[in-house]
Amino acid sequence: MNGQAFVAQVERGSVKNPLVLQIQHHGLRIEALVISPRMSDLYRLMPYKPPADMSRFVLSPMPGLLVEVCVNQGQKVQAGERVAVIEAMKMENVLFAAQDGVVKSVQATKGDSLSVDQVIVEFV
């Protein structure tokens, strides 16, 4: 830039907008949207749809076999407490509660074959 070399990290997409470029340089992070003038006109007309709040759920991070469910409906759970165990590729993966809460329902049972992002436990 201006005849000087510099290094910046560039990533495509963000949580709010998959079209932006995130550029990081010396601790500063900006989001840039590089589009044509016509696309800019159309982009202004597109409504923003916020992502769904999935913080109340424990989801399966990978396909696998549900080996153990460590909580029951109505049980109080502390952040970091063990919630479920999934076996995938001959390895056991322990899922922990991200925050304190009370179990509203257990959606999967021991022995179930889970898919990615399948709900295991729902919190109130």
Contacts of 47 (CB under 8 A, 6+ apart): none
> Where does the pLDDT of residue 112 fall: very low under 50, low under 70, confident under 90, or very high at 90 and above?
very high
User: Looking at residue 36, what is its pLDDT?
Assistant: 93
pLDDT greater than 90 at residue 17: no
Query: Per the structure block, which two tokens stand in for 78?
Result: 């502390």
Question: Mind giving me the DSSP string for 5-19?
Answer: ----EEEE--SS-TT
Residue 76 pLDDT greater than 90, yes or no: yes
- The answer to whether the CB of 28 falls within 8 A of the CB of 93 is no
Confidence (pTM) = 0.62
Q: Is a pLDDT exceeding 90 seen at residue 83?
A: yes
For the chain, helix (H) and strand (E) counts, in that order, are 1, 11
Q: What is the pLDDT of residue 1?
A: 80
pLDDT surpasses 90 at 84: yes
H or E segment and range at residue 1: none
Among 10, 11, 15, 23, CA closest to 48: 15
Give pLDDT tens digits for 18-29. 889 999 998 899
Domains of the chain plus CATH, in order, are: 9-45 (no CATH), 57-123 (2.40.50.100)
CB atoms within 10 A of CB 93: 15
Torsion of CA 58, 99, 55, 106, to 10 degrees: 30
> Which of the pair, 53 or 121, is modelled with greater confidence?
121
pLDDT band of residue 102 (cuts 50, 70, 90) is very high
Q: What is the pLDDT of residues 35-48, one digit of tens each?
A: 999 999 998 898 87
Helix segments in the chain, DSSP class H: 37-45
